[in-house]
Structures are given as C-alpha cells and as structure tokens.
Amino acid sequence: MNKKILTMPRWLKISIAVSVSLIVLFLVAGFIFYNMLTTSLPRYEGEIVVKGISGKVDVYRDSLGVPYVVAENETDGAFALGYLHGQERMFQMDLVRRAGAGRLSEILGPDALIYDKMLRTVGIKKTSQRIIKVLKPEVLKLLKSYSAGVNQYLKDSKGKYPVEFDILDYDPYKWEPEDCVIISRMMAWELNISWWTDISFTHLVQKLGEEKVKQVLPDWEENAPYVIPSETKSYPKLGTGLIEIDKDLRKILGINGTHLGSNNWVVDGSLSVSGKPVIANDPHLAYSTPGRWYAAVIRAGDWNVEGVTIPGIPAVVIGKNQNISWALTNIMLDDTDFYIEKLDSSGTKYLLNNSWKDLNISEETIEVKDSLDVKLKIRSTHRGPLISDIHPYSFLYPDKSLQRTAISMKWVGMETTEEVNSFYLLNRANNWKEFKEAVGYFSVPGQNFVYADKCGNIGYVFGGKLPKRESTSPTFVFDGTTEKYDWKGYVERPEIPDLFNPSQKFIATANNKTLKNFKYHVSNLWEPSSRIERITGLLTGKQKYSVPDFMKYQMDQVSPYAKMITQYIISAFNNVKATDENLSLTLDLLDDWDYEMNEFSQVPAIHSVFYKYLLKNTFYDELGDDLYNQFIFVSNVPYRSIEKMMKDKSHPWFNNTETPQNEDRDFIIRKSLVDALSELEKIFGKEIKEWQWGKLHTVTHKHTFSGQFSLLDKYIDIGPFPVGG
C-alpha cells in the first residue's frame, strides 16, 4: 500500500520560520529591556558603606515612598539627599544640567545644536560659575557634600544607570556644585514669562499698528501715562523663531510650565479650627514623568525640614521646619527686556548714543555626537548677549530685513544672584525676621513668598529683583542705539511693601497683581483675577478653617471666569430663536450651570470648545497663523484681552476683516457657539449626554522620550487620565 506523503508549501515554511524568529527576537528584546529597567531600579532597603560621611545615616520611607533622612549633621544629610536624588532622578537631573550648560548635542547629536547655542548664548553656565564664587562658605560646603552623594551613586551604579542612559548610549559625568546652581537657574528660565511676550507684542505693533494693538493688550493703562514708543513701528521686522526654539526645548525637558498658574494662601489662628495658622500651596508646573518635585523629610543636625525639593538642589523649596512654613507662587515679574541693536559693517561694534562701542566677543566649542565640533561665537553689548545670533535667520526667515535684525537681551537671570543662599537660610529660618532676610537673597524667578509660624504670625514677602525702568512701555522691544531704555539699577528691597499679620486675617496669591498703585513697573503679565477672586470668596465664607477644608479648596473647580463668559453667551442669544435642538438644549444647560468644571459634566466641554472658537474667531483674521499661535500660547494674555473686550459690544477686534459686513461681539459669540457644537458633534455624536468634559480634558505625565518611540509611549508615559478643572 502506497502512503501519501504531505509536504508543506515552501511559502508556509518561510512564513512560520519568519514568525518564530520574530517572536524569539521580540522575547529576547523584551527580556533585555526588562533587565535594563529592573537593574537600574533604586534601592529602598539594605545598607550601603560609603566614604564621605562622618557618621551613620538612616533613611526610612513612609507608605508613599517619601524618604526620611536622619543624620547627625547637615553635611551628612546633604550627602544622603544627593544619593537619593541620584538613584531616583539621575537622568532628569543630567538632562536639565546639560541643557543649562549647553551640552545636549553631546548626547542628542546635531538636532540639539540649536538649543545648546541658545542657552550658551544666554550664559546660564557662565552665570552659575560666577554665583558659586559668592555663595556663603557653609552653603558651598553643603553643595560639595550633596555633590559627593550624587557621585557616590554614580560610582555604585556604574553599568546600571537608568534605561534612558542605555538608550542614548552615554554615561553621566561627575556632578559638581556648579550643577546645583545650573538647576536653580533653569527653574528661573522656565518661569520667565516675559521672554515670550516682548517680542510677540512688538511684532503685533509692527503688523497692525499702535492704535489697533492698544485696543487689545490687557492693562494698557496700568502705569499711566502709558504710550507705545513711537520708534516701535519703524524697527526692523522681528521674527518669532527664538520663541519656537525655546518652546521645543521646553518640550524636551518637560519644563513647559510658563503659563500653568499657581496658588497659595494662609489664614491666621483666629480663622483656623486649631487656633494656629494654616497654609496651603499648589504650584502648577508642567506634568511630566518623573514629576518635577521630590518630597523629602530631613532631620540632620540644625537642618530640620520637610517639603518638596527639586532634584539637583540640596534644599526644601516649599515646606516647613520646626518653626515656620512657607509657600510660593510666580509673581509674573517682567524681568527681561530686548533691544534692537545697530551694528557696523564688520559686526564687531554697536551704536550707542551716537558712538560706536566694541561688542564683547567670545567663542565656545560645542561637542556634537556623531558629528564635528561646532564653534559658537557669542557677541554681547553692555546689556547682554545678541540672542539673534542663536540661529541663522536666513534659514528660518528668507526676508533679508529679518536677517539683519540684531537683538540683545537683558535678564535678571544673567546677574550674579544668590537663590541658593536664600534656600539655605529659608530652610533654617526661625521667625519672621530671619524669613525676610532669607527671601532678601532671592532674585529670580520672582516669587510670592507666603509665611506662617508657630507663634501664630502670617506674612507675605515679594521675592525678586525688580528692574528700575524710566520707560513707560516695558512690554515691547526697545531701541538699543540709546541708553534711554536701559535699566537704572534695581528697586531697593525696603521700597517694596511686605505684609505681616494683616487685618483681614488671611493672605492669598494666584499669579495676580500683588502691588497696588506701586510707582515702579512690575508686570503687565498677570493672570486673570478669577482664581484669586474664587480663593478670596472661599476664605471669607466661613468662620473657621481646617486642613481638610484647604485640601478641598485645592481641588475646587468652580470658575468665575467661566461665569463671566457664560453670561455674555446667554445675553447674545436673548433675542435669537434657537431652531437647532442641540443649540436650544445647550443654552438651557449654560443657563442652569453652576460654573463647576466637573469632569462628568457636559457643560464645561461646551464652554471650553466655545472659548477656543471665541479666541480664533476674534483674533485669527487680524493676526494670521504664526502670530495667532504666539499670542494665545501665554494664555493669560488672550484671557485678559477677552475679559476687557467683552465689555464693549462693538469692540473693533470682533469685526472679521475678511468679510464685507461689520460683526460685533454677539455675532462672534453666536458663531463660536455654533462652531463648538459642530466640533463636539463630530467628536462624540449628536447626543449631548456623551459630551463629558473628562473625555476631552485629560492629563498625561509625559516622559522626555514620549513621541520618539511610539511603541514605548504607553510604558513610559503615565496617563491619560480624565480630569476636571
């Protein structure tokens, strides 16, 4: 009997072989990646024998993983904190210090060259080197001990660094005290909001003219007389490429926190259940993986403090010691100015007061991974560096007038300031006097310091170096050919009011205007008043407050700003019959809304998408794509502009310049709501019940590598999470 032999088709054999090979490769790659991840995990248990400390140091952790450092003296405590920061945040620390030092190209290659050029030109590393020389001896000693702790981690973990180092194929270099200062200065850079606005506002004037811009910029009359310099319109054209470079760098570093807002407040003992002051703080920096803060408790000799630290700095930035507590928000201080410079044909001199002055010219070498070194020439006037040298204008802006524009920059962060001294003293302050002394060393970024102590006192101190300007138009780029617009030094600290045990029994800040009728310019960049109004309402609504009350208030989602906008929406439809079913239902929902941005509610989604279209339908026709995106990026500017414009039904900016008819506020409101409903119907369908805010409004804590390796995003990012607010 003949047996029939079945043979497998060749194509099937090949397919199976390829499939098996891919599975094996995937498993091997997965095992290698898993091994890379697990071998770099921080140690939470065990004993480590190290050199560099004088006694035993114990580290305990609570149920949330927060470390409690117990040491016999401050230097040993700093060493331990450095080790802990290193083992849990080394890549984060290394990336930020590299950015500040202009050394990203060493690990990221030519694509990062533009960022290195920017921050080398700004001079964060050079500034940090100067700051190190003015630190108090005890502070420098602490930085050295902290650095030794970081370096001990680097030594102990050689070959087992976090997986990011393996992916980028490099090892971190030795940590130095100077790196701690760089980290501190990078925080100042992150919170520098006026870097964004001066150039954009000047561009507005150049495109639209003085009168048109007067109509839209918020707080135009703040420091009367307030007149745009007549020279502005005749300046060479300015590009916004510098701002785009900064935006991209912030995405890489996860420090895109310029305009997210923060709150702090304190009540004295007469308003608290406990009879003692209660203080609260919620700084809203950018969400990232890992997070920006590192919570810690330190018991090390006279250093007895707890709160949140910034990895790379041996200090609690926001927190308390055995005698006082403190909380911070951004002042929104205008501490940056830009100047249009006139250079001679050689590019080595600039015109000042009808005389040619020599530019200060230096050269640095940037090492670039997989490429040749790059020479960077940095040219500076007496005010600061020519930031227009950062990138080739000819590449980004073919317009020759843009290529010729030389812009210098003056920033408080380029000064030799002493924030690290401030943090040291702040951690050890025992009373109001010592607290004020500590804040007196703080210059940049400008911060609202709110205070409470165990004796029942509360207070507020303006923490920042405030430029003295004779100009009444500090929101624009200045003419650099004259000293007329130069800073005339800084406002003396005693001239800036503080607040101690006020009669209202509480203090609150929310990036709002903090100094009323102050003779010096502080800022035009305040956040809208809605947050401070809500906080003030909450702090005047009860006789006594507790810690749980404040925790609840920190999660409060009621928006006075939304209330203001919604009232205009309802008014715009008062005499209009809504024939569309969803439009009619929407108006009913808006009319009944309690203005809470609840994630499960549909009304916040409607309101927020409406607001997006309100901005676009109001500003886009005049501004165009690039300038519109710049204008809305620092959100408090259009928010406050709209708040101002809504009071005038016939405000000229509501008119669409691209149509023959003359539109007014109510027309734009009606169009924006119809546009919003159309978008929501496309996303979620016709049923309004499906339009929950949390489906649209999510939070994702993104890793630096997010978006670079799409298969990894779900493993390295945390989220998205539906949220209210």
Q: What phi, psi does 711 have (nearest 5°)?
A: -70, -25
Residue 18 lies in a domain: no
Three-state SS for 619?
Answer: helix
- Check residue 198 and give its pLDDT: 81
523-539 average pLDDT score: 93
The answer to whether residues 548 and 648 belong to one domain is: no
Given 489, 521, 554, the domain boundary residue is 554
> Which of 64-78, 242-256, 280-294, 404-418 has the least mean pLDDT?
242-256
681 in helix, strand or coil?
helix
Phi/psi region, residue 2 (left: phi>0; alpha: psi -120 to 50; beta: rest), is beta
Same domain, 653 and 513: no
User: pLDDT tens digits, residue range 320-373?
Assistant: 999 999 999 999 999 999 999 999 999 999 999 999 999 999 999 999 999 999
172 lies in the same domain as 192:
yes
573 and 548 together in one domain: no
For residues 306 and 548, give the distance between their C-alpha atoms in angstroms, rounded to a whole number: 20
Question: 249: pLDDT confidence band, cut at 50, 70 and 90?
Answer: confident
Do 613 and 538 have their domain in common?
no
Asked whether the beta carbons of 669 and 642 are under 8 A apart, the reply is no
Q: How confident is the model at residue 240 (pLDDT cuts 50, 70, 90)?
A: low
Of the pLDDT bands very low, low, confident and very high (cuts 50, 70, 90), residue 238 is low
- pTM, 2 dp: 0.90
CA dihedral over 22, 23, 24, 30, signed as positive or negative? positive
Residue 237's pLDDT is 55
User: Is a pLDDT exceeding 90 seen at residue 253?
Assistant: no
The residue with tokens 């500590």 is 438
Q: What is the mean pLDDT of residues 428-453?
A: 98
What single letter denotes the amino acid at residue 354?
N
Q: From 503, 521, 554, give the residue that closes a domain.
A: 554
Looking at the structure of the chain, the number of domains it has is 2
Residue pair 213/205 in contact (Cβ under 8 Å)? The answer is yes
Contact predicate 677/569, CB 8 Å? no
Residue 24 included in any domain: no
Note whether residue 725 is domain-resident. no
Write out the two tokens for 289.
């993986």
Residue 392 has what pLDDT? 45
pLDDT of residue 393: 40
Structural domain range at position 660: 560-703
Residue of 672, 671, 667 whose CA lies nearest to 609: 672
Supply the CATH number for residue 114's domain.
3.60.20.10
Higher pLDDT, 398 or 87: 87
pLDDT at 630: 84
How crowded is the C-beta side of 218, counted as CA atoms within 13 Å?
22
Q: Rounded to 5 degrees, what are φ and ψ at 176? A: -120, 155
Residue 349 · residue 358 · CB < 8 Å? yes
Same domain membership, residue 160 and residue 252: yes
166 within some domain: yes
Same domain, 166 and 189: yes
* Other residues' Cβ atoms within 10 Å of the Cβ of residue 396: 16
447 close to 329: Cβ distance less than 8 angstroms: yes
| pLDDT band, residue 251 (cuts 50/70/90) | confident
Whether 724 is covered by a domain: the verdict is no
The domain boundary residue, chosen from 539, 554, 569: 554
At position 625, the amino acid (one-letter code) is D
Residues 475 and 595 in one domain: no
Q: Give the pLDDT band of residue 226 (cuts 50, 70, 90).
A: very low
Q: What does the pLDDT look like over 150-207, one tens digit per residue?
A: 999 999 999 999 999 999 999 999 999 999 999 999 999 988 888 778 878 888 888 8
Contact by Cβ (8 Å): 89, 311: yes
Q: Is the pLDDT of residue 95 over 60?
A: yes
DSSP state of 289: E
Picking from 242-251, 325-334, 343-352, 449-458, which range would have the lowest pLDDT averaged per residue?
A: 242-251
**Domain of 689: which CATH number?**
1.10.1400.10
Residue 619 has pLDDT above 60, yes or no: yes
718 is a domain residue = no
- Strand pairing partners for 721? 699
pLDDT at position 277 over 50: yes
pLDDT at 471: 73
Residue 42's pLDDT is what? 84
**Does one domain contain both 323 and 407?**
yes
Contact 408, 380 (CB under 8 A): yes
Mean of the per-residue pLDDT values of the chain: 90
Q: Domain check: are 504 and 592 in the same one?
A: no
- The pLDDT tens digits of the residues spanning 123-134 come to 999 999 999 999
Q: Which of 252-256, 476-480, 595-599 has the lowest mean pLDDT?
A: 252-256
4 located within any domain: no
Interatomic CA distance for residues 20 and 217, integer angstroms? 64
Q: Are residues 482 and 387 in the same domain?
A: yes
What would the mean pLDDT of 579-585 be, rounded to a whole number? 95
Tokens of 145: 């001990």
Write the pLDDT tens digit of every residue in 8-47: 667 666 767 677 666 766 665 555 555 555 666 788 888 9
Torsion, CA 623, CA 628, CA 631, CA 634, rounded to 10? 170
Please tell me which of 275-279, 388-392, 658-662 the model is most confident about, judged by mean pLDDT: 275-279
Is 577 a residue whose pLDDT tops 80? yes
Give, in order, the Cα–Cα distances in Å from 281 to each of 267, 305, 394, 682, 698.
12, 17, 46, 39, 23
pLDDT of 233 > 70? The answer is no
Same structural domain, 356 and 464: yes
What's the Cα-to-Cα distance from 434 to each of 134, 505, 674, rounded to whole Å?
20, 22, 57
Residues of the chain with pLDDT > 70: what percent? 88
411, pLDDT greater than 50: yes
Residue at 29 is within a domain: no
